[in-house]
Amino acid sequence: MAKGAYSIFSLVRNALRYHEGWPRAWRSPEPQPAYDVIIVGGGGHGLATAYYLAKEHGVSNVAVLEKGWLGGGNTGRNTTIIRSNYLWDESAAIYDKSLRLYEGLSRELNFNLMVSQRGVINLAHNLHDMRELARRVAAIKLNGIDSEILAPADIKAMVPILNVSPEARYPVLGASLQRRGGTARHDAVAWGLARAADARGVDIIQNCEVTGISREGGKVTGVETTRGSIKAPKVGVVVAGHASVLAAMAGLRLPIDSYPLQALVSEPLKPVIDSVVMSGAVHVYVSQSDKGELVMGASIDNYNSYAQRGSPHVIENMLGATVELFPIFSRLSMMRQWGGIVDVCPDASPIVSKTPVDGLYFNCGWGTGGFKATPGSGFAFAHTIAEDRPHPLNAPFSLERFTTGALIDEHGAAAVGH
């Protein structure tokens, strides 16, 4: 076992020392003047990219530059749902790769990501929903991804607190279930990847905002930051909601709009729901954390915004529907609410791509649903940067698809887009 590895023995040893002897999980180095690769954005996707650059491609002279703190963007703000039941082949391939990586990642990183494959249930409330759901389940199965249809009685058995009465405001006619879907601890994903990338020599530099992208003759030469200029022949930008802002620094425009998306958690309860329940039609998704809090997400505010907050009427709509579906929640207090800025493409699919500027790569557009894709996205993006060409997993997700018209329309992917 590697030095500094977490284990039952290190836990006992440190407990005996009153937990005062734990080493830092990653260094906090000063930025070097130059690197082989700079990753802009210390969220899950940026950290995963750095980790796989070092692990799969032997490129470890890498800096991850984060303007705030690690995982302080959407990585630390999402509702932690992971699943791979996407409609189109291209999406199925990259999201399922990601889920398979998640399945082995806690062990690989020696960090408990609390991956909990508790099952993700997507409800259908009318005949149209049911037909669409049957089509999706069939398509998903054809891609070798587990997916099944539940009848109302099966759903009630799994989620006893759900109102499945035919008189309900939102009657439940059926659902799809992906048993391998579930949740993972978002902070742990950022921290585990950061620690593993750092151990392989990657410099993780927080409080370092990129303010400019330097170019010469159509080629990237480095970045300007609040901590000085840093040179690199390759720059990978993974900044989610701020993608258009960084693109403008290189004179590019992207097919992206940024919107606030909100989530909220309740006071802690005894266990009442042990799967993830989502409803695309009324835009509700609920799971219960290990602390007992109900974790819920709302929909986006429908106008461009970089304010990391959302509007109360959006929450009100979503909670109204939640209480119809789960009457038992009607007297719960909500403890915290927050927003993140999500980067949405016209086809609701991501961009993991080279750009018209040599040596400049963008990974963005994951919108409301990229947490589940964190390892798969980093894996494919690392390949794209190291080899200067896309991996087969992300070739369809190029920027060129908006010119060729080969869009990957995942709107309402297997229900709500999270």
Partner 1 sequence: MLLIPCPWCGRRDESEFACGGEAHIARPADPDAVSDAEWADYLFMRTNPKGAHRERWVHVHGCGRWFNVARHTVTHDISAAYKVGEKPPGDAS
Ligand X SMILES: Cc1cc2nc3c(=O)[nH]c(=O)nc-3n(C[C@H](O)[C@H](O)[C@H](O)COP(=O)(O)OP(=O)(O)OC[C@H]3O[C@@H](n4cnc5c(N)ncnc54)[C@H](O)[C@@H]3O)c2cc1C
Q: Contact positions toward partner 1, by CB under 8 A? A: 242, 244-245, 248, 253-258, 302-307, 311-313, 346, 402-405
Rounded to the nearest 10 degrees, the angle between the axes of helix 374-387 and helix 89-109 is 100
DSSP 175-217: EEEETT-EE--HHHHHHHHHHHHHHTTPEEE-S--EEEEEEET
Position 375 contacts ligand X (CB under 6 A): no
Instruction: Name the nearest CA neighbour of 220 among 229, 210, 232.
Output: 232
Q: What is the dihedral of CA 26, 30, 35, 40, to 10 degrees?
A: 70
Give the one entry of ligand X, partner 1, none that residue 305 binds, where binding means its C-beta sits below a cut-off of 5 to 8 angstroms depending on kind: partner 1
Q: At closest approach, how far in Å is the CB of 253 from partner 1?
A: 4
Instruction: Name the nearest CA neighbour of 48 among 127, 123, 105.
Output: 105
In this chain, which of 26, 51, 77, 361 binds ligand X, going by CB under 6 A?
A: 77
Interaction pattern, residues 292-321, with ligand X; x per rule: CB under 6 A: -----x------------------------
Indicate the residue among 78 and 116 with the shorter CB distance to ligand X.
78
Interaction pattern, residues 125-164, with ligand X; x per rule: CB under 6 A: ----------------------------------------
> 62 CB contacts (<8 Å, ≥6 apart)?
35, 36, 37, 38, 39, 50, 53, 54, 197, 201, 202, 203
Indicate the residue among 328 and 395 with the shorter CB distance to partner 1.
395
Q: At closest approach, how far in Å is the CB of 132 from ligand X?
A: 21
Indicate the residue among 42 and 174 with the shorter CB distance to ligand X.
42
DSSP 79-141: --EE----SSHHHHHHHHHHHHHHHHHHHHHTS----B---EEEEE-SHHHHHHHHHHHHHHH
Position 181 contacts ligand X (CB under 6 A): no
Give the one entry of partner 1, ligand X, none that residue 114 binds, where binding means its C-beta sits below a cut-off of 5 to 8 angstroms depending on kind: none
In this chain, which of 26, 38, 39, 44 binds ligand X, going by CB under 6 A?
A: 44
85, 120 Cβ separation under 8 angstroms: yes
Position 397 contacts ligand X (CB under 6 A): no
Segment near ligand X (CB under 6 A), from 96-104, 114-122, 126-134, 257-265? 257-265
Position 115 contacts ligand X (CB under 6 A): no
Name the burial class of residue 138, with classes exposed (0-12), middle (13-18) and buried (19+) by CB atoms within 10 angstroms of its CB. exposed
- Terminal CA-CA length for the chain: 37
3-state secondary structure of 225: strand
For ligand X (CB under 6 A), the number of binding residues is 40
In this chain, which of 42, 181, 365, 375 binds ligand X, going by CB under 6 A?
A: 42
3-state secondary structure of 155: helix
Q: At closest approach, how far in Å is the CB of 22 from ligand X?
A: 24
227, 31 Cβ separation under 8 angstroms: yes
Q: At closest approach, how far in Å is the CB of 264 from partner 1?
A: 17
Q: At closest approach, how far in Å is the CB of 244 from partner 1?
A: 4
What is the arrangement of strands in the sheet containing 234-237, beginning at the earlier edge strand? 203-205, 62-65, 37-40, 234-237, 360-364, 351-354
Give the one entry of partner 1, ligand X, none that residue 357 binds, where binding means its C-beta sits below a cut-off of 5 to 8 angstroms depending on kind: none
CA distances from 386 to 202, 306, 363 (A): 15, 31, 14
Segment near ligand X (CB under 6 A), from 29-37, 53-61, 62-70, 384-392? 62-70
Indicate the residue among 66 and 301 with the shorter CB distance to ligand X.
66
Using only C-alpha atoms, what is the Rg of the chain? 21
Instruction: Name the nearest CA neighbour of 26 among 7, 12, 47.
Output: 47
Indicate the residue among 164 and 276 with the shorter CB distance to ligand X.
276
In this chain, which of 37, 51, 54, 67 binds ligand X, going by CB under 6 A?
A: 67
Position 261 contacts ligand X (CB under 6 A): yes
Task: Enumerate residues 208-247 that contact ligand X by CB under 6 A.
Answer: 209-210, 238-240, 242, 246
Which residues of the chain form contacts with ligand X (CB under 6 A)? 40-46, 65-68, 72-75, 77-81, 209-210, 238-240, 242, 246, 261-263, 297, 340, 342, 366, 368-372, 418
